[in-house]
Amino acid sequence: MKYETNENKIIKYHDGVFKVKDIKTGNEFLYKSLLSLDKSFVPDDFEMCFLYNDEVSENNIFNLYADGIRIGWIFPIQSLESQEHDYVHNEFYLKYAYIVVYKLLQVVEFADREYSDFSILDYYSDDIQILVYDKRNANQIKNFDLSKYAVGLFSKGYSFCGEGNVFKKFDILDKNIRVKQLPKPIRDISYINVLFMELIPLQESSYSKFHLIYQIIEILIGVVFNYKIKSFIHEIEVSSDDLFEKREQLSKITTEKDRVIWLFDNFSSVELQKKEILNSLCEKMLQDNEKKYKGNNVGNNLYAVRCLIVHNLYSLDEDSRELLKELNNSFLDVVLDILFTFHES
């Protein structure tokens, strides 16, 4: 859900009460917060957006760091209507909470409401997570764009739509969320961010989800191809001897399976346990469907699963369809590792 400002209201805050006047209708409403908000900050100096996460708890309140710079907070909208969480007296949270309430009241459509005793949650879903950041702090990051952190936010459990990354569990002892941009070789491939902002969080079909995640593999092996072919051309320019012998090397560069294997083995650093889990699930999927696989070769076996799903989807039985759901979860976990450790070999 996108937050958009509304210039048709005049909002004042005094003695713990917001006075909201609708310029168009002349109607006025009062909103009294349960929190002792601090109006030290100017709302126009901040940006806000809505995020989603399946693990809703009013105490999931975090400082947000982007590329090592503290830019703001992420907290559930529920925390604005509660005095039970750990940050109810935190001076910095209360300053940001004021900004958020101000901006939320800006866009509320009061219509012909005749009373002022209402809750923010009367107008907003209680599963919304708020990301609010200081534009001055964010501008310390060159060419700051929040969308560049979509993958990082997803890896921490948050998404811009859907229910977030439901397989990410919060570390309740760490009250900081640290996100970073993708590595330089793939940082400017905006479609990767689009996949995590608009598509992957919404996809419920296990088949479609596999294809969406595999699109990331296809993007990355395209980068691998560019790197390998440039290296190959450079080798030929340096020495044109034995060109006939190099035909096999060129053939491997143009073969998708080999580039998937290279992606795992030479262009990223996936946590060993994660690779082993994914490989085990791929082997089982292939074995159950009487397809060949190679032991302990996750790149080869993942490509084989991709071929199975693309060419023999109709043959998958109920057990294989259930297994694919589990495989997708592991696949997504591994892809996040690949994205953040990707490097040119």
The domain limits of the chain are 9-182, 206-341
pLDDT, mean of residues 161-186: 82
Pairing of strands 62-66, 69-76: antiparallel
Q: In what order do the strands lie in the sheet with 9-14?
A: 9-14, 17-22, 28-32
Q: Kindly indicate the confidence band of residue 210, based on its pLDDT and cuts at 50, 70 and 90.
A: very high
Q: Kindly indicate the confidence band of residue 107, based on its pLDDT and cuts at 50, 70 and 90.
A: confident
Q: Which residue has the higher pLDDT, 28 or 75?
A: 75
Cross-strand pairs, 95: none
Percent of the chain at pLDDT > 70 equals 93
pLDDT at residue 113 greater than cutoff 70: no
pLDDT at residue 3 greater than cutoff 70: no
pLDDT of residue 345: 73
pLDDT at residue 116 greater than cutoff 80: no
- Cα torsion for 187, 326, 218, 258, to the nearest 10°? 120
pLDDT, mean of residues 229-240: 84
Residues in the chain: 345
Tokens of 302: 């993942």
Q: Which of 136-145, 196-205, 208-217, 272-281 has the lowest mean pLDDT?
A: 196-205
pLDDT at residue 241 greater than cutoff 80: no
Tokens of 291: 């397809």
pLDDT of residue 280: 98
Percent of the chain at pLDDT > 90 equals 74
pLDDT at residue 143 greater than cutoff 60: yes
pLDDT of residue 247: 80
Tokens of 340: 């953040």
* Cβ within 8 Å of residue 234, ≥6 positions away: none
pLDDT at residue 298 greater than cutoff 90: yes
pLDDT, mean of residues 304-323: 95
pLDDT, mean of residues 234-256: 81
Q: Which of 5-19, 35-49, 156-170, 324-338 has the lowest mean pLDDT?
A: 156-170
pLDDT at residue 166 greater than cutoff 80: no
| Interval 54-89: pLDDT, tens | 877 889 999 999 999 999 999 999 999 999 999 999
pLDDT, mean of residues 339-345: 93
pLDDT at residue 1 greater than cutoff 50: no
Q: Which residue has the higher pLDDT, 33 or 6?
A: 33
* Cβ within 8 Å of residue 314, ≥6 positions away: none
Q: How far is CA 200 from CA 16, 189, 207, in A?
A: 41, 16, 12
pLDDT, mean of residues 305-323: 95
CA separation for the pair 47, 76 (Å, rounded): 16
Convert 83-93 to b/e letters by CB count within 10 Å (16 or more is b).
Answer: eebebbeeeeb
Convert 263-281 to b/e letters by CB count within 10 Å (16 or more is b).
Answer: bbeebbebeeebbebbbeb
Phi and psi for 255 in degrees, rounded to 5? Answer: -95, 125
